[in-house]
């Protein structure tokens, strides 16, 4: 067997393995999509027919719609806040020099290292100490704490490979630090900021464990409501909601990629 034939077989084997792995990972998503169009009162395959009944039920379920609104508001606010604070922190850690910088940098990653249960309990204790009640403020701040490390890591990595001669040239030409960041540094690291913001949005939208400690009766998020519904019985309405969320996330991912490449 020639080396060319061996290389082709190896390439074919690799493609087959990759296809099998991705098929295994995407199979649950496909099942969720298929069962959202069932005519039965419970998710089942094979189906007896195809219907949009459960999407109509979703639009009529005010509790789910309210939870979706809360999740979108909280995820958007925490993503924007994480992007701003994470970028400022990354610039400070990369460009600044101060004692115990590496130790503090590691401590900033604790929300993604320790259990969300511990983080949720700690946030509740802290918010009760400062007099911040549960609801939107607690949810936004809590989710920002949980998603901030992702933005910090991405932006810091981008800054570590950044050519500082560009900033020095801008300063030599008379630009102040703010102008330099707006017209030189910011546009170059913007893909990392956008990617970090998108990850922060996804993390916030799907966060359940710590969120249980931060919600109020009027600010339940989608994961919490779905968990509550699952305890009483699974209906295809949840599958319909899942399909809507999948489409939204795909659109956001494509938009983020388009903005990053433009």
What does each of the 262 residues of the chain score in pLDDT, given as a tens digit?
565 666 665 667 778 888 888 888 888 888 888 888 877 776 666 567 777 888 888 888 888 888 888 999 999 999 999 999 999 898 888 887 878 888 888 888 888 888 888 888 888 888 888 888 778 888 999 999 999 999 999 999 888 888 777 878 888 878 887 888 888 888 888 888 888 898 899 899 888 888 888 888 788 888 888 888 777 767 788 888 888 888 888 887 787 777 666 5
Q: Are 78 and 144 in contact (CB under 8 A)?
A: yes
| Sign for the pseudo-dihedral over CA of 50, 53, 59, 65 | negative
DSSP 52: -
Calculated CA dihedral for residues 97, 100, 104, 105, nearest 10 degrees: 50
- Go through the domains of the chain in sequence order and give each one's CATH number: 53-261 (1.10.3720.10)
pTM: 0.82
How far is it, in rounded angstroms, from Cα 218 to Cα 204?
18
- Nearest 5 degrees, angle CA 123-CA 194-CA 201? 40
| Sign for the pseudo-dihedral over CA of 76, 77, 83, 84 | positive
pLDDT number for residue 46: 59
How far is it, in rounded angstroms, from Cα 29 to Cα 255?
21
- Measured from the Cβ of residue 237, the count of other Cβ atoms closer than 10 Å reads 22
């Amino acid at each position: 067997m020639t080396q060319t034939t061996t290389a082709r077989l190896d390439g074919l084997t690799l493609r087959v393995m990759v296809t099998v792995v991705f098929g295994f990972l995407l199979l649950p998503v496909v099942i969720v999509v298929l069962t959202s169009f069932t005519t039965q009162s419970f998710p089942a395959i094979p189906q007896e027919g195809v219907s949009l009944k459960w999407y109509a039920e979703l639009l009529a379920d005010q509790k789910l719609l309210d939870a979706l609104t809360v999740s979108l508001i909280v995820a958007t606010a925490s993503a924007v806040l994480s992007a701003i604070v994470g970028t400022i922190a990354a610039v400070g850690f990369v460009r600044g020099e101060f004692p115990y910088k590496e130790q503090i940098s590691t401590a900033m990653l604790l929300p993604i290292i320790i259990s969300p249960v511990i983080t949720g309990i700690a946030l509740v204790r802290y918010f009760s100490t400062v007099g911040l009640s549960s609801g939107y403020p607690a949810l936004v701040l809590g989710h920002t704490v949980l998603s901030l490390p992702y933005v910090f890591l991405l932006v810091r990595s981008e800054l570590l490979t950044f050519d500082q001669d560009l900033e020095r040239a801008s300063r030599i030409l008379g630009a102040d630090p703010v102008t330099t960041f707006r017209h030189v540094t910011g546009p170059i690291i913007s893909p990392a900021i956008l990617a970090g913001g998108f990850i922060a949005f996804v993390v916030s939208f799907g966060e359940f464990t710590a969120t249980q400690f931060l919600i109020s009766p009027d600010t339940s998020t989608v994961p919490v409501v779905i968990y509550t519904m699952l305890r009483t019985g699974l209906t295809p309405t949840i599958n319909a909601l899942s399909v809507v969320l999948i489409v939204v996330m795909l659109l956001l991912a494509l938009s983020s990629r388009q903005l990053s490449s433009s």
